[in-house]
Amino acid sequence: MGKIEVLDEETINKIAAGEVVERPSSVVKELVENAVDAKATAVTVEIQEGGTALIRITDNGSGMEREDISRAFLRHSTSKIRKAEDLQTIASLGFRGEALSSISAVAQVELLTKTAHAMTGCRYRIDGGIEKTMEDIGCPDGTTFIVRQLFYNTPARRKFLKTNTTEAGYISDLMARLAMSHPEISFKFINNRQNRLHTSGNGRLKDIIYHIYGREISTNILPVDRSLDGIHMTGFIGKPIISRGNRSYENYFINGRYVKSPVITQAIEDAYKTFTMVHKFPFAVLHFTLDTKELDVNVHPTKMEVRFSHGQELYQFVYETIRNILFGRDLIPEVKPDTRKETVKLPEKPKQTFPEPFEKRRLEAIQQVNPKPIIQNKPQIKPQIKPQTAEKPRDIEKASVVQTPPVTIKKPIEEPQVPNKVKETVQQYELFEAGLLTKEARLQHKLIGQIFETYWIVEYDGKLFIIDQHAAHEKVLYEKLMKRFRESQPMIQMLQPPMILTLSMAEIDLLNRYMDEFKKMGFEFEAFGGKEYALRGVPSDLYGFSGKEMVVELLDSLSGEADRIRVDAIGDRIATMACKAAVKGNMQISVKEADALIEELLKAENPYTCPHGRPTIIAMTKTELEKRFKRIV
């Protein structure tokens, strides 16, 4: 065991800084919270290069006395508490006294501050925890912090930061939450000399929501205002129509502090059950006012987590409040007419309503006995496909389907017998062996028809094949989209007029960060001013699907990704696009469309499973069928 030594103050401060200052957004959070505690009514945050080069935070709060400045940068120096018992009644945002000492330990900090009654202000500089200068200076009331070269003396910490765009995105998200937590304060956020956020400070939370999330969300929110047993909850929840693919739109604040709580999160999401689809999350901006004795805010160095002394009662309060609001409202979404015109006109599906062959012959026989017209019950007699053999290649009807060169499917190497082998795997090998999807086999297919408006039956080589039209179409679209993405040759369907999207600041950052990937998929965007973007083009294979909905879902799914999106993550997104754009089960398609689908499936690299691993085709031999009917034993 090595010799035990007491660490020097500089090393202690750098270690402590690692707990509080994780990234530039941590600096902004601590300093803006100090400004709020100083009773500021206007706060401006300016950053450059993601906050690593410069963070400037200016407020019009109470300022600092000259004799307090130097002391404020010492560890555990604070004006918020005096003894441990004060933690039970703490109401301010910052209280540990670690923020300034931690920031100054890993950056070059300059402070300008002045109180209302002082004749002059004070300018103070401290680099890496070492005081440099203190001098009188003329400045307005309030405080300005200038933080330069964050982590300049801890390069190991700096290299683990994300790109400047990503770090700026974290600060953007933080500023949005701060604005929602304190609508009575005017917040301004400037990134690389561009204004990204500016709230009025008029105290109206709905105005903040409109400014951050746009018109569509702000017009689909419901007010919340309820008090019970010392708990007061106000704010807004979203109608189920604006549910999203992740929890980034769930915001709640306790006594003005943005926190995360499994109790509140579970209550909100449970209240929305049966109102939203699975894996969709609601929109909420809720403010809670609680007695400070009922919660513990001193759980984590970032003060992000809290504990409640009566968690079950709080859960029931939140759940019942939101549930009652949702049940008491007319939540039927209004469908607005779509006046857009598309430059690519897709052919309509032909209406084929002729009956299945045996049913047709039965009706003809009845007609000979009773010549009166027979009115068929359309819901009972479902459109079926007349059986036919492919003596010649069929015409492919879909104009938007782009042909790709056929891929030869190699016969897999035979494996030794393995006990308890999965039956589906055996069926897949049988499909390869049977060569169902080869050019030669296509000439001998007998397309029997469609059942349950979902599955197509094909007879070939003594086997009965059942094709899932959704899984098959999904795989065809997926392989086309992936091929074009890899080759950077998307096929784009232009929209005229374009579709206007109103995005939040976080979504704009995501869109700009992954713009190249969106373009490779086939989306075309153009900045439309402010938070609006014009969607001018979508992938041509996604006909019949809302480009706006797809973009929003892609942004939701990308919000948790790393700096550069991984290839497998792109595959997941494209699989989702293909799934949503593919023809669904319980949907009639014509014989020509089904035939074209099988033709396209023939050319896939792996036509036997959809992108999610489900089979596209299953098979049953004639022998198996005869065993079922006890023809053979």
- Give the count of beta carbons closer than 10 Å to the beta carbon of residue 307: 13
**Residue 575 belongs to a domain:** yes
Sign of the C-alpha dihedral computed for residues 404, 406, 410 and 412 taken in this order = positive
The answer to whether residue 38 is domain-embedded is: yes
Q: Based on the structure, what is the number of domains in the chain? A: 3
Q: CA nearest 150: which of 180, 119, 127?
A: 127
Cα–Cα distance, 492 to 514 (Å, whole number): 18
- 466: which strand partners? 457, 618
Looking at the structure, tell me whether residues 175 and 245 fall in a common domain: no
Among 149, 180, 202, residue at a domain's last position: 202
Q: Does residue 248 share a domain with residue 119?
A: no
Domain of 319: which CATH number? 3.30.230.10
Give me the domain span that covers residue 273.
206-299+307-327
Q: Containing H/E element for 533?
A: strand 532-539
Beta bridge partners of 296: 307
Phi and psi at residue 377, to the nearest 5°: -80, 100
Q: Are the C-beta atoms of 104 and 96 separated by less than 8 Å?
A: no
Who's near 56: CB < 8 A, 6+ residues apart? 44, 45, 46, 47, 144, 145, 146, 147
* Ramachandran assignment for 83, one of left (phi > 0), alpha (psi -120 to 50 degrees), beta (any other): beta
User: Do residues 553 and 579 both lie within one domain?
Assistant: yes
**CATH, residue 151:** 3.30.565.10
Residues 187 and 215 in one domain: no
Same domain flag for 112 and 241? no
As a whole number, the mean pLDDT across the chain is 76
Q: What is the per-residue pLDDT for 432?
A: 44
Give SS3 for 619: strand
Order of strands, sheet of 388-389, starting from the edge strand that comes earlier in the sequence: 388-389, 446-451, 455-460, 463-468, 617-621
Q: Is residue 378 assigned to a domain?
A: no
Residues 192 and 224 in one domain: no
**End-of-domain residue from the set 144, 169, 202:** 202
Q: Say if 245 falls within a structural domain.
A: yes
**What's the DSSP call for residue 349?**
P
C-beta separation of 551 from 535 below 8 A = yes
**Is 1 inside a domain boundary?**
no
* Domain final residue, candidates 153, 173, 202: 202
Yes or no: say if 495 and 504 are a contact pair by the CB < 8 Å rule.
no
Q: Give me the count of residues in the chain.
A: 633
Provide the total of helices (H) and of strands (E) in the chain, helices listed first.
Answer: 20, 24
pTM of the shown model: 0.65
129 lies in the same domain as 197: yes
**Chain centroid to CA 514:** 13
Does residue 249 sit in the same domain as residue 139?
Answer: no
Question: Considering the domain boundaries, does residue 622 fall inside one?
Answer: yes
Is 479 found in the same domain as 555?
Answer: yes
Q: Is residue 488 part of a domain?
A: yes
- Whether 412 is in a domain gets the answer no
Ranges under pLDDT 50 in the chain: 80-90, 95-96, 300-301, 338-359, 362, 366, 369-370, 372-434, 562-563
pLDDT reported for residue 297:
61
pLDDT at 286: 96
CATH number assigned to the domain comprising residue 631: 3.30.1540.20
Residue 388, Cβ density class (10 Å: 0-12 exposed, 13-18 middle, ≥19 buried): middle
- SS3 (DSSP) at 239: coil
Q: Are residues 610 and 520 in the same domain?
A: yes
Whole-number Å distance between alpha carbons of 344 and 342: 5
Structure tokens at 397: 């009807």
- Based on the domain organization, do 323 and 450 belong to the same domain? no
Same domain, 179 and 210: no
